[in-house]
Structure 1
Amino acid sequence: MNDRIKELRKTLGLTLEKFGERLGVKRNSVSQWENGINNISDQVRKSICREFGVNEEWLLSGSGPMFIPSSTFSLDEFAKTHEASDLDLNIIKAYLSLEPEVREMIAEHFKSFLAAP
């Protein structure tokens, strides 16, 4: 399981510290799991699955997909996975709540800004 914890962390693009923070543990604990020094408890295993949307069967045995397929998209979950701040998330939500014509004007502004040399 230790190799799969490391694979998961790397797939998510998280450092030992950031991965641990999301689970409420220290960087050192994550390192010890990944290196097989300490085993994870059932509680931690369940926390990993819940926090990162991981298929528990994959975490236990390597069988099946790494992540549980989501039937819906959650902006909040996406933002959390990508370490977006509350401000980042509020900006995105504010943008999406604008009238379509206003969003189009903003999008056009960014297109021209990004296309400039």
Structure 2
Amino acid sequence: MKKDIQIPKVEGVYIAIVNEYNDIYKTQDWNAYIINDKEVDLDMVIIVTSGYSKEKTTSIFRKKLDKLPKKSYAKIELMQEPLFALNNTFKVSFFEGNTMFDKTYLFRENTINVKAMQQLPLMETKGVLMK
């Protein structure tokens, strides 16, 4: 029966970690974003994040977006630099029409850094992108 379940491939939805200036606290912060580069809105977006290594595991963070409009992005969470030494996962589930999509994005330990930054789709900034 499992072989009959069709799981569509996720394309055009990305996770980005961006280093940006925080005007309120006058600090340079790292923030995680979800980017919808598709031509359709995403409904009921659920994002579950966590970090882990052999010795440590972070608590689980959940975020829900009722709608992520086409060609847009939304902030997920603030990320503190000590988390970059861990593997960071972002499990993303959403509906596109009546079809459910699901994908896990993995930022391996020490891959989030200034040297790994590149131009991001839709955002007028650079960051670490996971497709």
Q: TM-score range by the shorter chain?
A: under 0.3
- Relative to the length of structure 2, the TM-score reads 0.24
Larger Cα Rg: Structure 1 or Structure 2? 1
- Relative to the length of structure 1, the TM-score reads 0.25
Which structure dedicates a bigger proportion of its chain to helix? 1
